[in-house]
Structure 1
Amino acid sequence: MLFSRRLWVAVALALSGAAAQADFAIPGYELVHTVPVETTLATPDLRDPVTVWREMFDAARQRIDIAQFYVSGEPGEPLDAVMERLEAAAARGVKVRFLLEDKGLRLSVPATLARLRAIPGIEFRVLDFSKLSPSGIIHAKYFVVDGQAAFVGSQNFDWRALKHIHETGLRITEPRLVGQVQAVFDHDWQAQAQLAAGQPVAAPAPAPGAVPFDVMQPAFLVASPRAHNPPGVGDAEEVLPRLLAAARREVRVQLLDYAPLSYAPGRRPFYAVIDNAVRAAAARGVRVKLMVSHWNTEAPAIQHLKSLAMLPEVEVRVVTLPQAQQGFIPFARVIHTKAMVIDDEVAWVGTSNWAGGYLDKSRNLEVVLRNPAMAGRLAALHEQTWASTYAQPLDVNRQYPKPAKGEP
C-alpha cells in the first residue's frame, strides 16, 4: 500500500534535521520519544523524556503525583537527571506522592527505592493491585503535575527506558484529559490507604443511565480494569475492538508483546478479545502491519504470531536491536512502544501490551486522538522502524531461538 501524501510529509519532517522543529505537538498533546542509542533510528523533531520530565518537574508548584510499575536507576545514567529535578521540586515545597506496584518491588533497584524514600516530605506508597483486581498489577507508567499537565507512555521509571529502549509517550496539557488521569491516580492512591486500613475498596459508581462510551470524541482516555475506572474514563478492553471494527484501510501497531493468551499459575489461558478484533479487520480487507519485539518470539506466543501472519492482509515484522557497545544490558535493547494508528486518522498511545491480563485485569492507561497530524506522525514513527534493517518479516517456517532478556 502506498503512503499517503500526508504520511510522506510526516516522514520527511521526522528524518530531516533541517526541516525539524524543536518538538512535535498538537494543541494539548506533545509526542515524546526515546530513541535507543547506537542505532540508525532518529527523531529530531521529537523531544526525549528526560528533557520533558525535567521540564515538567521544574514547573511544578504544588504537587507531583507519580504511579509506576517499578523503579530502576544507575549511577551516571539518565534517570539521575530526572531524580535531581524531583528532589529539587520537593526541596522548594512541592508535595510528591509516589505509588508503586507491590510486585514491582522485587524488580526495582534498592538504591533507587532508597533515594526516592529519602526525598524530604515524599509520600511513598506500595499498592498490591491484585487485591483490587485478581492477578492484576499497576502496569501503567504516568504522572500528573499540579493537576495541569500529565505524562502517559510506555517509559518506565527506568534508566534503560530513557536510553536503550524504543519508547513513546504523550505530554498532556488538555484540561479534561489531565483531570481524568488525575482521577485514576486519586482512586488508586485512596484504594491503597483503604487496603492498608483493612477497609473494603468500592469501585467507582457508573453514571446513572450511562450510555455507550463515545469513541468519536476528538480525544479521550481509556483505562483498565473497567471496574476501577473513574466516571468518564472509557474501558480499554471494550474500546480497542470498537476502534479496530471501524478501520477501513490500514492498521499499524507496534508492541513489545502480542499474544491471545493470559496468565494463570502454571498455564496460559486463551484470551481472544484483541486477536478476534485484529482478525476480523483483516477479514474485511484491512491491511494490518503488526511490529513486535524479538522478545515476542518465545513459545507459545510465537505460534499464535505465525498463525496471524498467515492471513493475506496481515504482515508481522520482528524487531531486533543491536547489542550496546558496552555489552549485554539486561532487559534492554528492545522496542517497548505500545501504539496504534488507524487509517492515518486515529492515534492510540498507551502503556499496555496486547495480551490477556493487561486490558482486563491490570491498571493501564491509553490515550486516543482523532487527529490526522498526530496519527500521521505516529505512523511515520512506525514506518521508520518497520523499514529499518532491524525489522524482519516473521518467518512462519523458522524455529526462533529463545530471546535473551535478563541474561545473555
Structure 2
Amino acid sequence: MRTRTVALLWLAVTAGLAAPGALAASQPATATAAGTATDDQSRPDVRPNRSVDSPRLVGAYPNPVARDDAGEFVVLEVPPGTNLSSHRLADDGRNVALPNVTTSGRVVLSNDANRSRRLLGDETRVVAADPPPLANGGERVRLLRNGTVVDSFTYRDAPEGERYVREEGSTWRPLGATDRRVTTSGPTTATAFVLPDSPEVAVDALSDAEERVLLAGYTFTSPRITEELLAAHRRGVRVEVLVEGGPVGGLTTPQARALDRLVRAGVPVRAMGGPRARYAYHHAKYAVVDDRALVLTENWKPSGVGGRASRGWGTLVDDATTANALAETFRADAGWLDARPWRTWRANASVHEETPAAGDYPRHVAPERVPVERVRTLVAPDNAEPALRGVVGNASESLDVVQVSLGGPDGPFTSAAVDAARRGVRVRILLSGAWYVRDENAALARQLNAVAEAEDLPLSVRLADPGGRFEKVHAKGVVVDDSVAVVGSLNWNAHAARENREVALVLEGESVGGYYADAFEADWTTSGDGASREFPVGVALGGLVAVVGALVLARRVEFDPE
C-alpha cells in the first residue's frame, strides 16, 4: 500500500505572502490545554474564573512562514455581543489589551489582518490586533479579564506553517485545513439506495439540477456522469468538480479523458494534493445538487456509481442545510493552494491504462424515499472520529457494520465496536473479501471472533460472499439499533479519520435506519455462517495463541485504494 509522504514546501505568493504547507513528517509537536500539566510545573494552566459568557482560547498560529513571523494570530471563541476591550491577552513576557470591538463566534486576532485574511479566506472573522509575539519554541498564552486569568493554554515546539487547534486533544494542523463543526438539520426526506442495484439515483439527481452541481470525489472516470455534467453545464447550471490528484495507483486514461472533456467544455475542474497538501487524500464522495446533498460510499466511476462492480450505499437528502454545509466544505477545499486547476495538474502527470468495470448484477434492493428525523454532516479530519465513536457508543441493541477493512485490531472504531459488544450489544461486522484486503481481513476476523468466543461476546465478523449480487464490498456503512444509519466515504481506520478529507452523513429515524438494516441483512445472510467465512475459533485457531499471529499478520491497510 502506498502512503503519501507529505512534506513542507512553502512558496512565496503575492506581496510576500507565504503559502500554507502540509503536515511535516517529523515528531509531533505537543500542546496542553488549561487544567493539565505543563513543562512549567510551578505555573500550571488554570481557568479558575471561566464562565459561559466569557471568550475562550481555541487556537493559535505561532510560527508563520514569513519574515518576522508576520501573520501570527490567536483564535478566540466569543459569546454573542462581547466587547473584546474588557479582556487582555498575555504570554510570558507581555500583556496587551484587546481592541475595542464588539463581536461573536470564531474570531482571529492577527498582527497582520490583511495577510491573515488572504490565508484564511473571506469567511473568517479577522480582527486587527497586537497580540503578544508567540514563541516558536512554545509558551503559555493567557486570556485575562480584570486582571484575572479566565482561560489559558500551553504549546511546545510550534511546527512552521501549522496552527494549533485546541479541541480534540490539542493538535497541530496545516494552515488551510478546516475546523468544521458537525452540522445538524431535519426533519427532512431522503432517497436511500444501494449499489450496484440503483445507479440511476445519482444520474437522475444530476439530470434534474437547475442551479448548481458541486461534485467532489476521489476518482472520476464515469462516462455517464461526465455526460450529465456536460448537459447540466450546457443548460446553464454552475458545475464544478474537485478530485484527488494522486490516487493510489496513479491517474488513469479514463480519468484523464473524462476530466479533459469537462475542462474543454468550460467546466472548472481542480485536483487536490502535491507538496502543499492539507490532507493525505481527498477521499470524499459527494455532490451538492441545488439544495440537495448526494453522499456516497462509492467513486464516480463505472465500478461505483455505474453499478458495475461494488456493493455501496448512497443517499440523496432533500435538505438545504445539509447541502450548504457540504458546499462550504467544497469551497474550502477547492479554494486553497493545494487545489490546482486540472490542466496544470495534467501537464505534469503520467497516466496509465485501466479497463473500466463492466459487470452486470441483478437489482434486488430498490431505492426508497424515506423520512429522516435528523441529519448530521460529518467531515474528517475535523469532527468525524469523535462523532462516529459517539454513534457507536450510543448503540443499545444492535450494531451492524459493513466496511472494506478496519485498519487493524486496535483502531478507534474497532475498539468502539468491541466495547459495544461488551455492553451486550449484538455486533456484526461484514468485511470485504477483495484481493487487496482479503488476507488482512481474514486475520482480523479470526482475531475478533476469537475474542468473542473467549469472552462470550455477541460479536461476529464475516468476509462478504457476493453470491452474484455484486463483485466486492466497497461500502462504508453503519446501522445502529435499526434506527440510525451512517453513509459516506469514511473507512474505519485512524488514517482515514485523522489524515484524509472524508464526508459522511448520520441519518436518524426508523424508516431510514430500517432501509439500510435490511440491505445489510441481505448481504450478511448471503455471506453465510460457515467456517470458511466466519472463522470459528475452535476450528480455525485451536486457541487464543492464534490471536498473536493475527496481530502480526494484520498489517494495517491504512487506505482503501478506491
Whether TM exceeds 0.5 here: the answer is yes
| Structure 2 Cα separation of the partners of residues 240 and 65 of structure 1 | 25
Aligned to 1:253: 401
Q: Of the candidates 272, 275, 285, which is equivalent to residue 411 of structure 2?
A: 272
1:185 counterpart = 2:324: no
Structure 1 unaligned spans of 5+: 1-25, 36-42, 73-78, 197-216, 227-234, 262-270, 325-331, 403-408
AA aligned to 2:285 is K
The one-letter code sitting in structure 1 at the alignment partner of 2:476 is K
Distance 2:386 2:275 in 1: 21
Of 156, 163, 174, which aligns to 2:319?
174
Q: Does 1:293 align with 2:432?
A: yes
Query: How far apart are residue 259 of structure 1 and its match?
Result: 2.5
| Change in 2 beyond 3 A, CA 1:105/1:60 | farther
Asked if 1:138 is matched to 2:266, the reply is no
| 1:106-153 residue CA offsets vs partner (Å, 9 max, x unmatched) | 54432442233223111111111784445x20111111123x112111
The 5-angstrom pairing of residues 214-253 of structure 1 reads 218-226=374-382, 235-253=383-401
Q: In proportion to residue count, which structure has more helix?
A: 1
- Which residue in the other structure is 1:343 paired with? 481
Q: Distance in 2 between matches of 1:71 and 1:353?
A: 19
CA drift at 1:363: 0.9
Does residue 67 (structure 1) correspond to residue 216 (structure 2)? The answer is yes
Give 3-state SS (helix, strand or coil) of 1:188's partner. helix
Q: Percent identity?
A: 22
Question: 1:190 and 1:176, CA in 2 relative to 1: closer, same or farther beyond 3 A?
Answer: same
Q: 1:223 is matched by which residue type in structure 2?
A: V
Q: Which residue in the other structure is 2:557 paired with?
A: none
Moved more, 295-304 or 365-374: 295-304
State the Cα distance separating 1:398 from its structure 2 match.
Answer: 4.5
Alpha-carbon distance in 2 for matches of 1:93, 1:293: 41
Between the aligned partners of 1:299 and 1:337, the Cα distance in structure 2 is 19
Contact 1:385 1:391 in 2 (8 A): no
User: Are 1:385 and 2:519 counterparts?
Assistant: no
Whole-Å separation in 1 of the counterparts to 2:468 and 2:274:
34
Does residue 366 of the first structure (1) align with residue 509 of the second (2)?
no
Q: Whose relative contact order is higher, 1 or 2, with alpha carbons under 8 Å and at least 6 apart?
A: 1
Q: Give the paired residue count.
A: 314
The 3-state SS of whatever aligns with 1:56 is helix
Whichever residue aligns with residue 219 of structure 1, its letter is V
> Matches of 2:437 and 2:206 in 1, distance apart?
38
Aligned partner of 1:273: which letter?
A: P
2:446 corresponds in structure 1 to: 306
2:464 is aligned with 1:319: yes
Partner Cα separation in structure 2 for residue 309 and residue 129 of structure 1: 41
Shift of 1:391: 6.9
Partner of 2:310: 165
Larger Rg: 2
Q: Which amino acid aligns with 1:151?
A: L
The answer as to whether partners of 2:242 and 2:334 remain within 8 angstroms in 1 is yes
Q: How does 1:23-42 map to 2 (within 5 A)?
A: 27-35=188-196
For the Cα contact (< 8 Å) 1:125–1:192, is it kept in 2? Answer: no
Point out the more displaced range, 288-297 or 344-353. 288-297
Over 3 Å counting, the alpha-carbon distance change for 1:65 and 1:192 in structure 2 is farther
Which residue does 2:420 correspond to in 1? 281
Letter in 1 for 2:374: P
Q: 196, 204, 212: which one pairs with 1:55?
A: 204
TM-score under structure 1 length normalisation: 0.70
Q: Report if the CA contact (8 A) 1:96-1:121 is conserved.
A: no
Q: Does 1:124 align with 2:269?
A: yes
8 Å contact kept, 1:259–1:356 = yes
1:129–1:362 CA contact under 8 A, matched in 2: no
The alignment's C-alpha RMSD in Å is 3.0
User: Residue type matched to 2:270 in 1?
Assistant: R
Amino acid at match of 1:60: A
| 1:181 match: secondary structure | helix
> Corresponding residue for 1:154?
297
Please give the alpha-carbon distance, in whole angstroms, between the structure 1 residues aligned to 2:401 and 2:507: 15
Query: Could you say what secondary structure the match of 1:66 adopts?
Result: strand
Cα deviation, 1:305-361, whole Å, max 9, x if unaligned, reads 32212212111111133689xxxxxxx820111111111221111111112211111
Question: Matched residues in 1 for 2:275 and 2:294: separation?
Answer: 24
Q: Which amino acid aligns with 2:287?
A: F
Q: Please name the residue that 1:14 is paired with.
A: none
- CA deviations on 1:47-72 (whole Å, 9 max, x unpaired) are x23x2223222222332111111123
Does the 8 A contact of 2:463 with 2:527 survive in 1?
Answer: no
Give how far 1:258 is off: 1.5
Looking at structure 1, the residues matched to 334 and 403 of structure 2 have their Cα atoms a distance apart, in angstroms, of: 28
Q: In structure 2, what is the Cα distance between the partners aligned to 1:96 and 1:388?
A: 40
Mapped to 2, the partners of 1:98 and 1:391 lie a distance apart of: 43
The superposition leaves residues 23-65 of structure 1 with CA deviations (integer Å, 9 ceiling, x where unpaired) of xxx9431112213xxxxxxx6xxxx23x222322222233211
By how many angstroms is 1:163 displaced? 1.9
- Per the TM alignment, residue 249 of structure 1 is displaced from its structure 2 partner at its CA by 1.1
- Runs of 4+ in structure 1 over 6 Å off: 193-196, 399-402
Shift of 1:220: 0.8
> The residue matched to 1:239 in structure 2 has which SS?
helix
Aligned to 2:30: none
Report if aligned partners of 1:223, 1:364 keep a CA contact under 8 Å in 2: yes
Instruction: Look up the SS of the partner of 1:103 in the other structure.
Output: coil
Deviation at 1:93, TM superposition (A): 2.5
> In structure 2, do the counterparts of structure 1 residues 114 and 297 end up closer, same or farther at CA, with 3 Å as the change threshold?
closer
1:97 aligns with 2:240: yes
Q: 1:194 to 1:169 in 2, by over 3 A?
A: closer
Secondary structure at the counterpart of residue 498 of structure 2: coil
- C-alpha distance in 1, partners of 2:467/2:428? 22
For the residue of structure 1 that corresponds to 2:335, the secondary structure is helix
Match of 2:534?
Answer: 394
